[in-house]
Homo-oligomer: A and B are copies of this chain.
């Protein structure tokens, strides 16, 4: 596929994700960590305009001068920013104008790509597309969080979520360890945080053959897991107390004691065979301790994932397939690791504002590996490092056990 076709495909997919939503849905923000769909659509466009058109387009003039501030996410090198927690207050520009902004930038990008094509431009183009794909995942998780605030439990997609079949038994798969290489290694795209590929010594370990299921996690709840301090990291135990945590983010119990889970398909009966999702690292770690297991390190996960094909999913994680081997590594839930998000040895961040893309967040965040049902097709890879603070629960996060 040509870069131009890739560009068109990714750009169209963002708009497609907004299709089931009204303009009102697209403007709202439910918490500071989540952004309105409209903001995602504009910010990803701003990225191309600011980092590519401003640099390469002859006679560059911004689509709208105020957008430089309104749609800057966190780049101090670019200048001022609209406050993150107030993105929902940006009722102007309207969705209609943001669509026009996208069309305008797309047309200019088309002209530019027809004329120029150096390595630097193509590198930035690829970065911009990967960036937009990251926001596509956030569009789904952010809108899920938004809809979950509404006691009418509106569905993003009205189609039914079928009851999962069976669900495989959990097995342990052993790995020898040794001096391994991890990090992005071939010519394909990788973020700077996956680089450089480097050696790391990994002791022998085993991974669970599949993700932890809702049924298993329910057993933890019913055994009093949320009330037993010895299972929790100190900070996690404090959080359980402050927020009165007693179950994953979108679970709720009806008057008859029946558990339900809010999904992008609306409120659903809890399905024991599907993977448990929307957990903090605190919860993942406590569950692992309860199972006399632990979370994997990111190096262990990457060693195990070598050669496993990526997958991409629907709008909710599916139950593990029957049969042997390591399953659900990609396409269901991001998997919390015990590895803090830190620079690889020899890591160098890009010069200028793009150097802020990843590097400045390498503190007090933890790495998640794999990909989720919300990850765009083609975006996942074994060396990919997703990262969130330990308390984040609105992503499709799940548990892969190790020991």
Contacts and interface: CB of A to CB of B under 8 A. Distances in A.
Nearest to A300: B345
A157 interface: no
A214 interface: no
A355 B23 CA distance: 38
Interface stretch (A55-63, A143-151, A254-262): A143-151
Given A25-B91, A342-B339, A360-B232, A66 B30 contact: no
A29 B66 contact: no
A363 interface: yes
A115 interface: no
Nearest to A233: B363
Contacts of A22: 23, 91, 94
Contacts of A264: none
Interface residues of A, number: 66
Interface stretch (A199-207, A268-276, A306-314): A199-207
A360 B230 CA distance: 8
B24 A89 contact: no
A297 B66 CA distance: 43
Residue of A89, A94, A146, A198 with highest tally of chain B CB at under 10 A: A89
B230 A76 contact: yes
A27 B27 contact: yes
A92 interface: yes
A28 B30 contact: no
A27 B24 contact: yes
Contacts of A167: none
Nearest to A236: B363
Nearest to A345: B203
Nearest to A30: B89
A200 B25 CA distance: 50
A88 B89 CA distance: 9
A22 B27 CA distance: 11
A319 to B, nearest CB: 30
A360 B233 contact: yes
Interface in A332-359: 338-340, 342-343, 345-346, 355-356
A219 interface: no
B234 A203 contact: no
A392 to B, nearest CB: 13
A360 B200 CA distance: 26
In this complex, the member of A150, A233, A364 whose beta carbon has the largest number of chain B beta carbons within 10 angstroms is A364
B154 A92 contact: yes
A172 interface: no
A380 interface: no
A92 B150 contact: yes
A179 interface: yes
B346 A342 contact: no
19 contacts: A23-B23, A27-B28, A28-B88, A28-B89, A30-B89, A77-B230, A89-B146, A89-B149, A90-B150, A91-B146, A91-B147, A91-B150, A179-B179, A179-B201, A199-B201, A230-B355, A235-B363, A281-B363, A338-B343
Given A92-B147, A234-B360, 9 more contacts: A22-B91, A22-B94, A28-B89, A70-B152, A76-B237, A233-B361, A338-B342, A363-B390, A364-B390
